[in-house]
Amino acid sequence: MKIAVYVASAFSIDGKGENKAGVVFMEELLTTAQKMEIAKQLDFAETAFISESEMADYKLEYFTPKEEVPLCGHATIGAFAILMHLHKIFKDRYTIETKSGVLSITIKDDLIYMEQNKPEFYEVIPPNELIGCFDLEAIKPEHPIQIVSTGLKDILIPIKTETQLRTVNPNFEKIKAISKAYQVVGMHLYAFEGNRIVCRNFAPLYDIQ
């Protein structure tokens, strides 16, 4: 069986910065094992598999090299970027079926906007729970460390500066243990830089590092 696989770089500006994802159009049904193998061979954080849907314009499934996840933002944006590249976009609004629900995609001025579920806020975690994950001196104390989900549960952790965010040295085994204990996908570290929010995501349970 020959399968066409595309690679999209989401969130790049003028060719700089990117979050790569694999994109596969399933013209024939693939087994979970086959999807896993493709994702493993591509070795990106996520690969999106697109197929027909009975409740939306498209069905999207997302696989890391290790497991299936319910939703992935950059892989969704990448999938629609590939659809645009292949001249398969014919309207300004689409719906996608995901394991996090049916979401809408809006196309405006060649930009792709993805709807996300309303955020759900869970428990606030004291900083000492994260001892050993990375240098806790980098954490910004003005904001809570909290589990939040718009489709995937992550621990959101505020960091003082972008420089500290970029130089964080994570202990993946410790992050994996904390993620299991709190039943989350991983840790999402962020810092405010002017009018931007800069992020790093660590999810070693799913081989996302």
Q: pLDDT digits over 163-193, tens only? A: 999 999 999 999 999 999 999 999 999 999 8
Q: Report how far Cα 105 is from the mean position of its chain's Cα atoms.
A: 16
Q: What is the pLDDT of residue 17?
A: 59
On whether the CB atoms of residues 39 and 62 are closer than 8 A, the answer is: no
Q: What is the pLDDT of residue 185?
A: 92
The CATH number fitting domain 120-206, selected from 1.25.40.10, 3.40.920.10, 3.10.310.10, 3.40.50.150: 3.10.310.10
Q: What is the pLDDT of residue 37?
A: 93
Q: Of 154, 88, 165, 84, which is closest to residue 121 (Cα–Cα)?
A: 154
Give the residue range(s) of CATH 3.10.310.10 domains in the chain.
5-114, 120-206
What are the percentages of helix, strand and coil residues in the chain, rounded to 5?
A: 25, 40, 35
Catalytic residue among 28, 46, 120, 162: 46
The CATH superfamily of 5-114 is: Diaminopimelate Epimerase; Chain A, domain 1 (3.10.310.10)
Q: What is the pLDDT of residue 20?
A: 86
On whether the CB atoms of residues 35 and 61 are closer than 8 A, the answer is: yes
Q: What is the pLDDT of residue 1?
A: 67
Q: What is the pLDDT of residue 129?
A: 96
> Is residue 54 annotated as part of the catalytic site, yes or no?
no
Q: Is 200 exposed, middle or buried (0-12, 13-18, 19+ CB in 10 A)?
A: middle
The pTM for the full model equals 0.79
Q: What is the pLDDT of residue 8?
A: 87
Q: What is the pLDDT of residues 49-67, one digit of tens each?
A: 999 999 999 999 999 988 8
Q: What is the pLDDT of residue 68?
A: 92
Reading the chain (209 residues) residue by residue, the pLDDT tens digits are 678 899 988 776 666 656 789 999 998 889 999 999 999 999 888 999 999 999 999 999 999 988 899 999 999 999 999 999 999 999 999 999 999 999 999 999 889 999 988 999 999 999 999 999 999 999 999 999 999 999 889 999 999 999 999 999 999 999 999 999 999 999 999 999 888 899 999 999 887 76
